[in-house]
Amino acid sequence: MTSLAYTFVDSPIGDLLLAGTGDALHYLSFPSGHKAFGPKPDWQRSDAPFREVKRQLDAYFAGELKDFDLPLHLGGTAFQNAVWRYLDGIPFGETRSYGRVAADLGRPKACRAVGAANGNNPIPIILPCHRVIGQNGSLTGFGGGLPVKELLLRHEAGERQDGQP
């Protein structure tokens, strides 16, 4: 695999790390949370491959974009890819439970596997894993931290607090 390019994009939830090639986005990482990470030593800093990603993220946070249209590179297993494709189909402003995702994928007993795949989503926000919640409506597990998940869901519900999403 060739070395990836990376950049940072300012957002209302902090600087987001983007990594990929000129052909596709491979990773988006939050500035904090248990899944946050920084650039790898062999990655090269370059803003050019991410102009469209930045434009769409800016439009999303401004409330002007509900569906991303970007080329994505996803690794992962067949099941993880099925979950990630499912995430892409959850409409802006709506949520699904882990159980519903599992059932909709034809694996009704795979709630924990859905949670694990959700937790390994390499491109959060764009593949909106924040839209998956507990069966009882509780916010559970999120690589960027639960406060960020709550902010993203409030943003999509049209709520604004102190200029935040």
Provide the annotated active-site residues.
129
| CA 133/CA 12 separation, integer angstroms | 22
DSSP-derived letter for residue 152 is H
* Four-residue CA torsion sign, 137, 125, 66, 25: negative
| CA 102/CA 151 separation, integer angstroms | 25
Contact present, 9 and 50 (Cβ < 8 Å):
yes
